[in-house]
Structure 1
Amino acid sequence: MQNQKRPGHPEAPPSQGPSTPVGLGLPQSARLLKRPQFLECYSHGKRVTSPGFLMFVVPRDGKGRLGVAVSKKIGRACQRNRLKRLIREAYRRHRNLFTGWDVVIVPKRGIDCTRIHQFLVDEELVLLATRAKDRRSCRSHHM
């Protein structure tokens, strides 16, 4: 016998906090996911540096893809995850600068995860893309 005062299947309570934005982020097709993809960038890619990051770039037909590699020597897991989110967001904002490249971004050891913010990451990614394009054009003129 069922209790008459309580409904059989209560509805879930409304969730708290902000709802997840739809359509933001990078689709799987825009990310490097497998180890061989990363190794390809490390071994055949051009290396470009900025004060806080190291970037490996491999030319590719079509849209570019992003890989992020953060060493365990950089902060705790929550700090590394935050840094990865900041890098992915900066890449998403400036994706047009990376068209035609597979890119792996590696934060340098001395980076301060607790003080870095989105503006700085955006600035450094734009600098890296500019340096990579300059290297690309210099090489094509010398051939």
Structure 2
Amino acid sequence: MNDRMVVAVYTGSLSALAANLFLYIINSLIAVPRINMPQLTVQLMFEQPDLTNIFVIILGIVWSMIIGGVYTFIYLIVLDFTGWNNLLLKSIAVITGLWLLGAGTIMKLFNILPEARAEPLAVAAFFIAHLFFAFVLKYLIQEFMKS
């Protein structure tokens, strides 16, 4: 398919859903207090006091899907400029680079840094979920572009 926006929406959204599920699993295994970064961002945007609020959970997932589509679109642009070889390495490089820039900017913008500094395991879990996103994205892009 030649429409990069459509590819980004499908593969980015599906990768984000998989990464969200993976993040929930990781967070359930962490024995210390934990935070979910996309939900925390939504909570601070709408000033919702409860991270277990279904509204915050749904918007956190939607937020992740939107960001996943944006990350994927940038990834596809990088692939168009650099070539379609080494998809996994490029996926990891682009997604982790965007995570560092994007997460840092969003955490600063919404003043999440105090919560994030207090929960280094949650930040590590969020980073690992992004790595999982990169792996799923590589697979989906490879499969999607075959058809």
TM-score (norm 1): 0.29
- The structure with the largest strand share of the pair is 1
Query: Which entry has the higher C-alpha Rg, 1 or 2?
Result: 1
More helix by share: 2
- Please give the TM-score of this superposition, normalised by the length of structure 2: 0.29
